[in-house]
Amino acid sequence: MIKDQASKLRDLSKIKRLTDEHLHPVRRLAVTSGKGGVGKSNLSLNLGLAWQKLGRRTLLVDADTNLANIDILLGITPKYTLADAILRGAFIADVLVDGPEGLRILPAGSGVVEMVGLDDLVQDRLVRGLEELEKSRDLVLLDTGAGIHEGVVELAGGCDEVIFVTTPEPTAITDAYAAIKVISSRNAAIKPYLLVNQARSSEESEEVSRKICLVVENYLAIHLEPLGFLPLDPHVPQAVARQTPFLLAYPRCPASLNLMMIARRLLKLPPSNSGGTLFRQLFFRSRTHEPAGRTK
């Protein structure tokens, strides 16, 4: 009976969702990496701020279930996370945090993964609340964890576009390839991008991009779009120490200038929109998947 009611709720709202999506398409991008320590969360935060500066209403979801860092980078302590909405009945609106430049931040914490195990009615209610957030935004940016464990693959695979972040270090490059392989096998429709962080020069970045894109093309038959690079810039760790995004603390530094170029380029690239909303795709699609990591 409960499952029938949940099914009817989804059917009744489907036409409205399709109409809303047609009138106001939302781009959904994940930022992920094969290993930690490559600057993924810092990039996510500053990219969201760059889009806000460019007039795009952005929702940043801090979905790193192990090492959520967006709050630390901003020097804030969220009162609630998505886990509070799921497990303790907090309202989604109360979970949202107002960041700089009008950026909206959703501290997801471990709640994103825990949603998959909820019963249909509770899960549907929460997803509809999250869908309302999407409808008021132009872009949804998901900062996932690092690596290829199931939670990261589910989150990144639920997006339309994925930015894979690496540094020039060999271990980061190898792990980036593994992440591209596993996440693309989970969702063949995603549009993958590559961003090289902490490059010592444009030549180094171009060489790293060329090698990864060539291997991905030859062995996975996937076109990986290089976005460019962020330089190894001393202003970035200085901004982290100040708990202020480098785009705001040092808007004319090399990292900020390159990031604004990348943000503009992403907006010009055609989106890959698979329909539905990120949260509905993720939490109702995830039941049908085998665990990640089984790809040969």
Looking at residue 242, what DSSP letter applies? T
Q: Confidence band (pLDDT; 50, 70, 90) for 259?
A: very high
pTM for the complete prediction? 0.83
Residue 194 lies in a domain: yes
Lowest mean pLDDT among 81-85, 148-152, 187-191: 81-85
Q: Name residue, tokens 């009008």.
A: 102
Alpha-carbon span 12 to 114, nearest angstrom? 26
**5 or 70: which leads in pLDDT:** 70
Q: What is the pLDDT of residue 120?
A: 63
Q: Confidence band (pLDDT; 50, 70, 90) for 292?
A: very low
Residue 35 near residue 171 (C-beta atoms within 8 A): yes
Residue 45 lies in a domain: yes
Q: Confidence band (pLDDT; 50, 70, 90) for 218?
A: very high
Q: Confidence band (pLDDT; 50, 70, 90) for 23?
A: very low
**Percentage of the chain exceeding pLDDT 70:** 76
Residue 48 lies in a domain: yes
Reading the block at residue 98, the tokens are 């107002």
Q: Which among 51, 46, 33 is positioned nearest to 196, based on CA atoms?
A: 33
Side-chain-facing half-sphere of 202: CA atoms under 13 Å:
4
**Res 249 pLDDT > 60:** yes
Q: What is the CATH number of the domain that holds 196?
A: 3.40.50.300
**6 or 96: which leads in pLDDT:** 96
Residue 15 lies in a domain: no
Residues in the chain: 296
Residue 10 lies in a domain: no
Residue 224 near residue 218 (C-beta atoms within 8 A): no
Reading the block at residue 83, the tokens are 């886990």
Number of domains in the chain: 1
Alpha-carbon span 225 to 36, nearest angstrom? 22
| Amino acid (one-letter) located at 259 | L
Q: Which among 128, 89, 130, 72 is positioned nearest to 106, based on CA atoms?
A: 130
Reading the block at residue 128, the tokens are 């509809």
DSSP 65-131: SS---HHHHHT---S--HHHHHHS---HHHH-EE-GGG-EEEE-TTHHHHGGGS-HHHHHHHHHHHH
Looking at residue 160, what DSSP letter applies? S
Residue 221 lies in a domain: yes
Q: Which among 285, 108, 69 is positioned nearest to 190, based on CA atoms?
A: 285
Element of type H or E holding 59: strand 58-62
Residue 23 lies in a domain: no
Residue 5 lies in a domain: no
Q: What is the pLDDT of residue 114?
A: 57
Q: Residue 246: give the domain boundaries.
A: 28-288
**Res 123 pLDDT > 80:** no
Distances (CA, A) of 164 to 40, 242, 257: 9, 26, 20
**Percentage of the chain exceeding pLDDT 90:** 53
Share the mean pLDDT of the chain: 83
**Res 26 pLDDT > 90:** no
